[in-house]
Amino acid sequence: MKLALWTYEGPPHIGAMRVVNSMQNAHYVLHAPQGDTYADLLFTMIERQNHRPPVTYTTFQARDLGSDTANLFVESVLDAAERFKPDVMFVGESCTAELIQDQPGSLALGIEGLDVPVVPLEHPAYSRKENYGASEALYAVVRAVLKDDVIPDQRTPSVNLIGPSSLGFRCRDDIKEVMALLQSIGVQTNAVVPLNATLADIKSLPQATANVCLYSEVGRTTCDWLKRQFKQPVIDVVPIGVTATREFVKAVAEAVGVDATAALQNHASRLPWYSRSIDSNYLTGKRVFIFADATHAIAAARVASEELGFEVVGLGTYSREFGREVRAAAESYGIEALITDDYLEVEDAVKSTEPELVLGTQMERHMAKRLGIACCVISAPFHVEDVPARYSPQMGYEGANVIFDSWVHPLMMGLEEHLLGMFTDDFEFSDAAPSHLGSHASYASDSPTGDAITPQQVTPGNIDAVANAAASQTNTAQTDTSQIKTEADGLQGNDSLWTVDAERELKKIPFFVRGKAKRNTERYAGQFGLQTITLETLYDAKAHYSGS
Amino acid sequence: MTMPVASVAKCKTPAAEHKTAEAKHKTIDIVQERGQREVFCGLTGIVWLHRRMQDAFFLVVGSRTCAHLLQSAAGVMIFAEPRFGTAILDDRDLSGSADFNDELERIVNDLVVRRPEIKTLFLVGSCPSEVIKLDLEKAAERLNKIHPLRVLSFSGSGIETTFTQGEDNCLKALIADMVQGSPAGDDDVAFSRPCELLVLGTVADVVEDQFTRLLQAMGINSVAFLPTRSASRLPLIDQNTKVVLVQPFVGESLRELTRHGLQHIQTVFPFGAEGTLRWLKAIADAFDIDSQHFDRVVEAPLSRARTAMKKVAEPLQGRRVSFFPDSQLEIPMARFLYEECGMQPVEIGVPFFDRQCIGAELDLLPDNIRFVEGQHVDEQLARLHQDQPDLTVCGMGLGNPLEAQGLATKWSIELVFSPIHGFEQAADLAALFVKPLKRRQLLKVPA
């Protein structure tokens, strides 16, 4: 048993639904109780899909349990086959149906006269999650369609794009961008699966020279099987960022056997120049914290570090299946990867690394907003605002342009930053005053426990204690309400060390770097065994840490 | 300013309606339908209950699906840390290799440390917890002995409850502690004496304040609302307490209260100017409030509501409306739209009929309506396309697909998320239904 407040991934049947919903004329009969139909609105609301997802739910109730839920399932399959006339019928169960053990797969396969290919899905709902469900559903349908096929004698010089799906981050636009990119080097896209795929597309997969694994979370298992079965090489480079896009072009050209020299000399992204233009000096060393699915986390870290000149201070993923890859990436930035599906753990990591920008999912957007840190969503799960009307891929050269704009925009830039630093006494520059970023929340004014916190619990020393729910800390020394500090100064740490002068000087430091300055000064004091922090200590510490 | 008196007479309140507990309501034909039900489960109520009761925490004992539903169903994630969570069962819990009580105790211990301000903890049963027969009531009893907070349990499972029934079960779980002389003792109750009137069902805070002012002006001073804003400050009730519904989905709680001897004031729901007037009048009559005094109290807000309604509801006149089953608010809304906005209901789908709750509303609806209980969503959609109503009230899963097919829709979930009760909100409620129609007129882009 594990406590979850917000979750990054839904249950496995949601992943399967993403695959079925991606495909054309496929249908999914899901053995599930009333209530599980909530999943429809993920598609119709978040992606604004203009039709219902192709899912029939049996919606059994308690009164059915005593009678015949298996029969209810069979009737639902027959009804759906008749009503929707799909080319392929997926059948499966949600967590509750797994417990009543009707075994929908066997039931559906045993229906006489059911004139549609059936793909049974069995996902362990109590141990696996959404991306696993998506990956397995794709693998199941590909295997069902192709298991008796042999390696074709001749192949067209083309690739398959494996992994884009419904509710995947910017998949709709990424496909378009990657297909255009392939076209530019004379490589055809043989098939894209599962997004918009027909059964014929799946049937044609072995015809391509190679498979591009665009999103490992959904496509890896299928790519590996196609490689074993049909000796199709897998192209692993995810074309996010300018360098990765160039590597992708090279890898495809090599696998398919075309010459991409000309195309490589003429890349079409503005990112390199924008990043080298003098305005971008302000981006140098911006501290960025990244938490996403593995594909986007690894790619974002590279773009942040190599193409924007940020400092990657945190990197992690909720995709445990790809923990190894994310760990390796993190190591290359000299940090330890955070592999977890507990958003509270992620929030603690964000707080302790004090980033200036968070790149993450919907969950990170929430925590960044609470903490007053700039944020951009780069991965599922996301909300409706991350399905923009405009063309906004993440992949390819245009994707790099989009990334430059959308990651840089939330940051405080250039002269604004200088003015805030120069004239800290300007009454309109108060910490609560808005910049172009909007008003700022802060660590102190908006506690991690949200509206539930009482003043007695918020003393400067125990903000983290409240967050970490360290009961022993909350029970000691916090009853003295005279210590309560309500100004939104974004401070945490040991205030008793600070002299009045030093504290006043500290407040002249702009709020967005003040936390770091305070932390460094206290670390310095601790390191040198100082009992008080004076004005001198503040500047000693500043000098000590300069350039580090 | 003599208008209210005449107006009250016009609103044809059947004088006897609320005097007898078992009022006779007209019979209607109901089609029963079985098939796919596009309705949330009872867990969904947690999305508003956890905001209403600020010192309560809702711990669902369930699966990853339950957790995912809670964060997806409302289409919103609130920025503040939620006062609900899911204890997700895993293979160890199912195989029995982990002791259920130990596991739950560990999670509750963590919660209590993390959220020390929580005074009431609801253990909420789900489909999986009910199928594997976890006894949450016993677990709650056990935890009550360990922790200095009140632990209660109720079911929000999809196999037992639809959408708003979760709230019904939650409120029912609170009632035992409200009865005078209950073991919970006087620490837990907000009133030293039993209240005279209990208003049952969630309303917006602002609505509670408005109703409280009106009822007090009428002379009913001891009024309590359930759910309360604080789950640890419950009202006290006894046989002299009268209960009136403010939501149509609290039938089980109502029956529990009548079992304790409370008198049910049967009436319509306080939606719209006339609905609110009838509702207040029924209460006034039950308390023998002088009718002239009543008229004086409601005069100003009633007149405001009618004026505002006249301005807002005009575009709805003569339009046809259909309802998909959702929150049980379908019949009260149909009554409001028919009687006060001049709309013609075509089909009204409801999850289930509870005549004790909606009987008075049915009496006010015309005869030519198709009533459907339960759901077969594909069949209902087929009928909808035949009917082609001007407005369809449905859940969010169906909204965009229907709009794409040229049908104007109103999300039904807004009806449980917005302040829509009472005189001051009458025009706001009408405006909710006007907006999708008005928007279609405004937009000059091709469909």
Q: What is the DSSP string of B230-299?
A: STTSBPPB-TT-EEEESSTT-HHHHHHHHHTTPEE-----SBHHHHHHHHHHHHHHHTT--HHHHHHHHH
Nearest to A448 among B64, B81, B111 (CB): B81
Q: B90 and A124 in contact (C-beta within 8 Å)?
A: no
pLDDT category, A5, cuts 50, 70, 90? confident
- The pLDDT mean for chain A works out to 86
Q: For residue B187, what are the CA distances in angstroms to B50, B57, B122, B153, B192?
A: 22, 19, 19, 20, 10
Taking only residues 109 to 148 of chain B, the set having a beta carbon closer than 8 angstroms to any beta carbon of chain A reads: 110-111, 113-117, 127-128, 130-132
B372: amino acid identity, one letter = V
Residue B14 has pLDDT above 60, yes or no: no
Give φ, ψ of A164 to 5 degrees.
-65, 135
Cross-chain residue pair B160–A61, CB shorter than 8 Å: yes
pLDDT category, A451, cuts 50, 70, 90? very low
Between CA A40 and CA A49, with CA A46 as vertex, the angle to 5 degrees is 65
Give the residue, B123 or A366, on which the prediction is more confident.
Answer: B123
Nearest CA in chain B to A467: B114
Over range B16-21, report the average pLDDT. Answer: 41
Cross-chain residue pair B158–A36, CB shorter than 8 Å: yes
Cross-chain residue pair A36–B67, CB shorter than 8 Å: no
Q: Looking at CA atoms only, how far is residue A39 from chain B in angstroms?
A: 8
Q: A442 and A511 in contact (C-beta within 8 Å)?
A: yes
Which residues from chain A sit within 8 angstroms of residue B116, using beta carbons? 457, 471, 474
**This prediction's pTM:** 0.88
pLDDT of residue A134: 98
Question: Would you call B402 an interface residue with chain A, using a CB distance cutoff of 8 Å?
Answer: no
Nearest to A95 among B63, B72, B404 (CB): B63
Q: Looking at CA atoms only, how far is residue B72 from chain A in angstroms?
A: 7
Mutate to test the interface with B, among A3, A38, A77 (most CBs of B within 10 A): A38
Cross-chain residue pair A52–B401, CB shorter than 8 Å: yes
Neighbour tally for A248: CB within 10 Å:
24
**DSSP state, residue B82:** P
pLDDT of residue A460: 33
Residue A510 has pLDDT above 80, yes or no: no
Nearest CA in chain B to A371: B79
Q: For residue B54, what are the CA distances in angstroms to B111, B119, B174, B232, B236?
A: 15, 9, 15, 10, 19
Residues A296-348 have pLDDT tens digits of 999 999 999 999 999 999 999 999 999 999 999 999 999 999 999 998 899 99
Nearest to B65 among A79, A94, A470 (CB): A94
Q: A189 and A159 in contact (C-beta within 8 Å)?
A: yes
pLDDT category, A491, cuts 50, 70, 90? very low
Reported residue count of chain B is 447
For the CA atoms of chain A, what is the radius of gyration? 27
User: Exposed, middle or buried, A163 (CB in 10 Å: 0-12/13-18/19+)?
Assistant: buried
- The pLDDT mean for chain B works out to 90
Taking only residues 20 to 49 of chain B, the set having a beta carbon closer than 8 angstroms to any beta carbon of chain A reads: 35-44
pLDDT of residue B186: 46
Between CA A360 and CA A369, with CA A365 as vertex, the angle to 5 degrees is 140
Residues B211-267 have pLDDT tens digits of 999 999 999 999 999 999 998 889 999 999 999 999 999 999 999 999 999 999 999
Range of lowest pLDDT (A13-22, B69-78, B228-237, B277-286): B69-78
Question: Would you call B318 an interface residue with chain A, using a CB distance cutoff of 8 Å?
Answer: no
Taking only residues 52 to 81 of chain B, the set having a beta carbon closer than 8 angstroms to any beta carbon of chain A reads: 54, 59, 63-65, 67-69, 71-73, 75, 77, 79-81
Torsion sign (Cα): A282, A286, A291, A294: positive
User: Exposed, middle or buried, B378 (CB in 10 Å: 0-12/13-18/19+)?
Assistant: middle
Over range B288-312, report the average pLDDT. Answer: 97
Which residues from chain A sit within 8 angstroms of residue B43, using beta carbons? 35
Residue B361 has pLDDT above 80, yes or no: yes
Cross-chain residue pair A452–B83, CB shorter than 8 Å: yes
Cross-chain residue pair B38–A369, CB shorter than 8 Å: no
User: Considering A259, A279, A426, A501, which one is annotated as catalytic?
Assistant: A279
pLDDT of residue A456: 32
Cross-chain residue pair A125–B90, CB shorter than 8 Å: no
pLDDT category, B73, cuts 50, 70, 90? confident
**C-alpha to C-alpha distance for B9 and B278, rounded to whole angstroms:** 11
Residue A471 has pLDDT above 60, yes or no: no
Q: Helix, strand, or coil here: B447?
A: coil
Residue B2 has pLDDT above 70, yes or no: no
Cross-chain residue pair B37–A56, CB shorter than 8 Å: no
Range of lowest pLDDT (A433-437, B3-7, B123-127): B3-7
Which residues from chain A sit within 8 angstroms of residue B85, using beta carbons? 3-5
Count of pairs with CB atoms under 8 A, one residue in A, one in B: 209
pLDDT of residue A444: 36
Residue B88 has pLDDT above 90, yes or no: yes
Reported residue count of chain A is 548
Which residues from chain B sit within 8 angstroms of residue A389, using beta carbons? none
Torsion sign (Cα): A142, A148, A149, A150: positive
The rounded Cα B216 to chain-centroid distance in angstroms is 23
Which residues from chain A sit within 8 angstroms of residue B107, using beta carbons? 1-3
Over range B358-382, report the average pLDDT. Answer: 95
H and E: helices and strands count for chain A: 24, 14
pLDDT of residue B78: 59
Which of B264, B412, B399 has the alpha carbon at shortest distance from B331?
A: B412
Nearest to A50 among B80, B82, B401 (CB): B401
pLDDT of residue A543: 86
Q: Which residue has the tokens 């909350």?
A: A474
Torsion, CA B424, CA B253, CA A452, CA A1, rounded to 10: -140
Residue A56 has pLDDT above 70, yes or no: yes
Range of lowest pLDDT (A452-456, B137-141, B357-361): A452-456
pLDDT of residue A430: 54
Residues A155-189 have pLDDT tens digits of 889 999 999 999 999 999 999 999 999 999 999 99
Cross-chain residue pair B82–A6, CB shorter than 8 Å: yes
Residue A449 has pLDDT above 70, yes or no: no
Q: A164 and A192 in contact (C-beta within 8 Å)?
A: yes
Over range B89-107, report the average pLDDT. Answer: 92
Residue B189 has pLDDT above 90, yes or no: no
**C-alpha to C-alpha distance for A108 and A508, rounded to whole angstroms:** 70
B322: amino acid identity, one letter = S
Q: Catalytic site residue A279?
A: yes
Q: Helix, strand, or coil here: B53?
A: coil
Nearest to B93 among A1, A36, A129 (CB): A1
Cross-chain residue pair A126–B162, CB shorter than 8 Å: no
Which residues from chain A sit within 8 angstroms of residue B40, using beta carbons? 35, 37-38
Over range A70-97, report the average pLDDT. Answer: 96
**C-alpha to C-alpha distance for B212 and B220, rounded to whole angstroms:** 9
Question: Would you call B83 an interface residue with chain A, using a CB distance cutoff of 8 Å?
Answer: yes
DSSP track, A429-454: G-TTS-BTTB----TTTS-TTGGG--
Residue B74 has pLDDT above 80, yes or no: no
Over range B18-22, report the average pLDDT. Answer: 44
Cross-chain residue pair B115–A452, CB shorter than 8 Å: yes
Nearest to B81 among A5, A457, A470 (CB): A5
Nearest CA in chain A to B102: A1
Over range B317-329, report the average pLDDT. Answer: 97
Give the residue, B17 or A147, on which the prediction is more confident.
Answer: A147
